[in-house]
Amino acid sequence: MDRYLDTFGRWFLTPLLLALVSFIFYFILRKAGLRQRQATGFALITPWIVGFLIFTAYPLIYSLYLSFTEYSLFGEPRWVGLDNYIRLFTQSVEFWPSVRLTLLYAALTLPIGVTGALLMAILLNNKIKGIGIYRTIYYLPAILPEVAVALLWRWMFNSESGLLNYVLKPLFSLFGVDKPNWFGDPDYVLPAFIIMSVWGIFGTNTVIFLAGLQGIPKNLYEAAEIDGAGPIRKFWHITIPQLSPIIFLQVIMGMISALQIFTVAMFVRPTSAAGKFMNQLVYEKGFTQLHMGEASAIAWVLFILILILTLLVFRSSPAWVHYESEVKR
Amino acid sequence: MKKKLSQAFVLLLVFTLVLAACSSGGTGSFGGVESSGIEAKSEGNGEKTTIRLATWAGAEEAKELQAILDELNAKSDTYEIVQDSNPAEYDTRLLTQLSGESGPDLFWVSAQRAAQLSARGAMLDITDRLSSSDHIAGDLSDYYPSSLEPFKVGEKIYGLPWLQQPVMLYVNKDLFDKAGLKYPDDSWTWETFMDAARKLTVDQNGKHPGEEGFDANNIKQWGFTINGWPPVQMFIWQNGGEVISPDFSSSPIDTPEAMEAFKFYSELINSPVTPSQQTIRDRGFDAMYKKQEVAMFMGGAADSLDWDVDFNSQAFPVPAGPDGKRVTFTDILGMGINAKTKHPDAAFEALLDLTDAIHHWKIMPPRKSLAELETLKELQPKKAHSLQAIIDSMEFGIAYRYFENYPDWDNIFWTQLMDPIVNAGADPEKLVPKVKSQLDEVLRNYTRK
C-alpha cells in the first residue's frame, strides 16, 4: 500500500504543481499588461516551457559548461578551460579526419538526395492509374525504424552473401572489378553510407516536393507553352523557381540531419580505418573513454559547424530562392 | 466567476492528461527508484534486503545464473539477489545507472571497466571488509595476483574477479594426425608453431606453402587464423617486451623485442598459412575452425571449441616465445559493489557468496585452491581433456596493464596501429615510431594525477 501512495502522490502532485506554476505565470503576465487571451495562451503552454527548460535548455547550457571541464560521470567536473578544445584541434588524431568524413558525407549525400527526390516527384506527379500506390511505396522507407533498417543494410551489404553484391555481380564482371567489401574497405564505406541515406530520405523528400509541385499554378505552364517553351525550359524557368522555397527547406533540413549521422554508423560498424563520424566520436569519447568534457566539446564544435553552414545557405538564398510575396527589385 | 472556474478546471484536466500520457512511458525508470527506496525502510525488521545484480547474461546464461541465485537466496537470511540482465549496450546502461541514484547494488564488470570505475570512485572500497572477513572467497592470497590487478588502485581493492580465462591453442587433432604432426607440447616456440602451420596449410592440389606449384589463391585448409585476435600484446610479452611500462610512463613498443613481435604478427597476417581478412569476415572467425577449414585456433579457455565440434579437438598451452618464455593473455571478468549502494553490508555478503558460486560454475576460476584437476573435472566434464593445459596456463597468464584511462590508450593502439597492420597490410616498422609518440602522450596526460 505504501508504494502505491508514493506513486499516486507523485503522479498527482506533479500536475498540481504545474497547474500552480501556470496560474502564477498567468497572473504575472496579466500584471505585466498582457490581455486575458494572450496571458491564457502563454499560461497553457507552461508544461511545454517547463519541459523545454528542464530537458533541453538546461542540458544544453550544462553541456557547454562541461565542455570546459574534465568530467567522467563520477565525481565532480574539473575545470580545464579551453584545454579540451585546444587538444581537439591540435593533438587529437581522430578529430580532423572525422570532420572531413562528416562534411564529405553531407556534401555528397545532399545533392544526390535532393536532386533524385525532385526528379522522382516530377515522375510521381502524373495522374496515371495507381499513382497513389507508387507514392505510398516510395514513402515507406521513412516510416521504418532506423535501427532495424541499419541491421538489414549490414546484411545486404555483406560482400560475400549480401543481396547487393549478388545482384550487381554481372556488372562487376563486366567492368572486371572485384566485389567491393562495402563496410570493410575504407574506400567503399562512404559510398555505402550515401546509398543508405539516399534510400532513407528519398521518400520524405519526394512527398514534400510532390506537394510543392502540385501547388504550382497551371497557368504559368500554359503561358510558357504559348510562348513556345519546351519541357526543359519550363522545368528550369518555372518549376525550379517555384519550388525553390521547398528546395531551400530540404537543403537546410537535409544538411542538418546528414551532419548528425549516428544511428546507422553505430549499428553498421564500418571498419575503423574509414574514420568515424563526429557524433560517433562524441559517443565514444563520452561513454567508452569517460571523457564527458571532451565529448561535449566535440558536440559543440559540431553545433557551431552546422550553424555556420546553415547561415551560409541562408545568406545565399536571395540569389536563388523566389518567394511569391517578393517584389522584384 | 464561472469563466474563471471553468478555466481552472480546463487547466487541471489538461495537465493531468499530459502527465498521464508522459508517465506511462516513464514508469519503468521510476519503478527502480521506488523499490530500493521502499526496501531500505524494511531492512531494520530483519527482513531480507533486496540486492539488485546487473549482468550482461544472455537468455541461456541468465537461466543458469538464476538457478545459482535461487540456491544462494534460499541459503541466506540476509539478502535476496535479484537479477537484472541486459546483454545489449550493457556498458552504457551500467555507467548511466551508476552515475545516477538508482543504480544496481552489485554488477558484473569487465577488467577494463573495473580499472576505470575503481579509479573514479564508482565502486565500493572493500579492502577493509575483505581483510576482516573469513569467507573463503575473501582470501586474497588464494587468487592469482594478475586477476586482482584490474580491481586494485594502489593498495586498495574495489571488486573481485570471478573468471580469468587464459588464451589456449585449440588444435584439430584429426588434421594433425593426417599431416603426421605431433601435438603441441612445452617445447613449442614461434618457429615450431609456424612450421606446423605451414605443414597444415594445403591448397587444392595438396601442396604446402614453399613447395613448387603452391597456389596461394586456391587454399582449401589453413594452418591458423588471425584477425587482430589473439592480441599482439601476447606475442610481445612472449618475446620479453612490453606495451605499457610498469610505471605507466611510456609505451615501449619500439624496443627490439616488441618490434620482432610486431613483425611476427604482421608475417602471420600476410602469410598464406592464415586466411585473408575478407575470408575471415565472410566465413566467420571461429566458424572456420569448427568447419575444419582452419587447423589451429587461439581462443579463450572457456570456449567450447574443444568439445562442441565434430572432430577431435583439444586445447593446449600457447607456444612460447623464441627464448622459451611462456606467457599467455588472460581475460578477466569480475563483480563490484556500487559505491552509492544503500546496503553495503548485505551487498558485500552477497558479493562473496556469489563470487564463490560463479567460481564453481565458470571456467577458469581465478583461485589457486580451485585449480585442482579432479575438482575441475567434476565441474567441467566436457573439457576434461583440456583441463590440465588450462590449469598450467594459469601460471603464466597475465592481463593488460589496465589503468584509469586505458580506453584512450587502447583506442589509439587499435585505430592507429593494429587496424592498419591487420586490415591494410601496413608495415609495423613505419607505423610504430609515429604511434609510439601518440601513446606516450596519452600516458603522460592522464596518469600524471
Shortest alpha-carbon distance between residue A91 and chain B (Å)? 9
Which pLDDT value is given to residue A2?
66
Shortest alpha-carbon distance between residue A162 and chain B (Å)? 10
Q: Indicate if A20 and A119 belong to the same structural domain.
A: no
Q: Classify residue A243: in a domain, yes or no.
A: yes
Q: Does A288 touch chain B (CB under 8 A)?
A: yes
What's the farthest any 2 CA atoms get from each other in chain B? 104
Q: Indicate if A80 and A123 belong to the same structural domain.
A: no
Average pLDDT over residues B42-49: 61
Are A193 and A280 a contacting pair, CB within 8 Å? no
Are B292 and B236 a contacting pair, CB within 8 Å? no
Of B20, B99, B416, the CB nearest to A93: B416
pLDDT-derived band at B26, boundaries 50, 70, 90: very low
Q: Indicate if A141 and A284 belong to the same structural domain.
A: yes
CATH number of B167-330+402-446: 3.40.190.10
Q: Is it the case that residue B27 has pLDDT exceeding 80?
A: no
Average pLDDT over residues A166-195: 84
- C-alpha cell at position B35: 523499490
Structural domains counted in chain A: 2
Q: Do A11 and B7 touch (CB under 8 A)?
A: no
Q: Indicate if A81 and A194 belong to the same structural domain.
A: no
Q: Does A34 touch chain B (CB under 8 A)?
A: no
Summarised one tens digit per residue, pLDDT across range B72-98 is 999 998 999 999 999 988 998 999 899
Residues of B in contact with A187 (CB under 8 A): none
Which pLDDT value is given to residue B151?
94
Residues of B in contact with A273 (CB under 8 A): 415, 419-420, 423-424
Which pLDDT value is given to residue B44?
45
Residues of A in contact with B217 (CB under 8 A): none
Which residue out of B15, B33, B441 would a mutagenesis test of the A interface target, given it has the greatest number of A Cβ atoms within 10 Å?
B15
Q: Is B388 helix (H, G, I), strand (E, B) or coil?
A: helix
Q: Do A93 and B281 touch (CB under 8 A)?
A: no
Q: Is it the case that residue B43 has pLDDT exceeding 50?
A: no
Are B218 and B204 a contacting pair, CB within 8 Å? yes
ipTM above threshold 0.95:
no
Q: How far apart are CA A295 and CA A88, in angstroms?
A: 10
Residue with cell 537470511: B77
Average pLDDT over residues B127-140: 92
Which pLDDT value is given to residue B180?
92
Q: Is it the case that residue A321 has pLDDT exceeding 90?
A: no
Which residue out of B17, B19, B29, B118 would a mutagenesis test of the A interface target, given it has the greatest number of A Cβ atoms within 10 Å?
B19
Q: Classify residue A326: in a domain, yes or no.
A: no
Shortest alpha-carbon distance between residue A67 and chain B (Å)? 17
Q: Indicate if A135 and A250 belong to the same structural domain.
A: yes
Q: Do A160 and B282 touch (CB under 8 A)?
A: yes
Q: Classify residue A34: in a domain, yes or no.
A: yes
Q: Do B19 and A273 touch (CB under 8 A)?
A: no
Which pLDDT value is given to residue B46?
59
Which residue out of B11, B153, B217 would a mutagenesis test of the A interface target, given it has the greatest number of A Cβ atoms within 10 Å?
B11
Q: How far apart are CA B14 and CA B162, in angstroms?
A: 53
Q: Is it the case that residue B101 has pLDDT exceeding 90?
A: no
Q: Classify residue A287: in a domain, yes or no.
A: yes
Q: Classify residue A328: in a domain, yes or no.
A: no
Q: Is it the case that residue B18 has pLDDT exceeding 70?
A: no
Q: Indicate if A257 and A109 belong to the same structural domain.
A: yes
Which pLDDT value is given to residue B447?
56
- C-alpha cell at position B347: 551487498
Residues of A in contact with B415 (CB under 8 A): 93-94, 272-273
Q: Which residue of A has its CA nearest to B417?
A: A273
Which pLDDT value is given to residue B375?
87
Of A272, A288, A289, the CB nearest to B415: A272
Which domain CATH number covers A126?
1.10.3720.10
Residues of A in contact with B411 (CB under 8 A): 94, 284, 288-289
Summarised one tens digit per residue, pLDDT across range A40-98 is 888 889 989 999 999 999 999 999 999 999 998 888 899 999 999 999 999 888 999 99
- C-alpha cell at position B249: 610512463
Shortest alpha-carbon distance between residue A78 and chain B (Å)? 12
Which pLDDT value is given to residue B34?
37
Q: Indicate if A29 and A158 belong to the same structural domain.
A: no
Q: How far apart are CA B368 and CA B372, in angstroms?
A: 8
Q: How far apart are CA A106 and CA A278, in angstroms?
A: 12
Q: What is the DSSP letter of B103?
A: -
Q: Classify residue A325: in a domain, yes or no.
A: no
| Polymer length of chain A | 329
Residues 3-32 of A with CB under 8 A from B: 3, 6-7, 10-11, 14-16, 18-19, 22-23
Q: Classify residue A281: in a domain, yes or no.
A: yes
Domain end, chosen from A87, A110, A143, is at: A87
Which pLDDT value is given to residue B25?
43
Proportion of chain A above pLDDT 70, given as a percent: 98
Summarised one tens digit per residue, pLDDT across range A107-160 is 999 999 999 999 888 888 888 888 888 888 888 888 899 889 988 898 888 877
Residue with cell 598450467: B392
Q: How far apart are CA B328 and CA B317, in angstroms?
A: 8
Q: Indicate if A175 and A307 belong to the same structural domain.
A: yes
Summarised one tens digit per residue, pLDDT across range B204-232 is 888 898 888 888 888 999 999 999 999 99
Q: Indicate if A63 and A96 belong to the same structural domain.
A: no
Q: Does A70 touch chain B (CB under 8 A)?
A: no
Average pLDDT over residues B180-203: 93
Which pLDDT value is given to residue B196?
94
Summarised one tens digit per residue, pLDDT across range B309-343 is 999 999 999 999 999 999 999 999 999 999 999 99
Domain end, chosen from A87, A113, A141, is at: A87
Q: Which fold has domain B48-165+332-398?
A: D-Maltodextrin-Binding Protein; domain 2 (3.40.190)
H or E segment at A18? helix A2-31
Q: Indicate if A83 and A100 belong to the same structural domain.
A: no
Range of the domain at A42: 2-87
Q: Out of A7-21, B174-188, B381-395, pick the least confident.
A: A7-21
Shortest alpha-carbon distance between residue B191 and chain A (Å)? 31
Q: Do B14 and A44 touch (CB under 8 A)?
A: yes
- What are the domain boundaries of chain B? 48-165+332-398, 167-330+402-446
Q: Do B34 and A47 touch (CB under 8 A)?
A: no
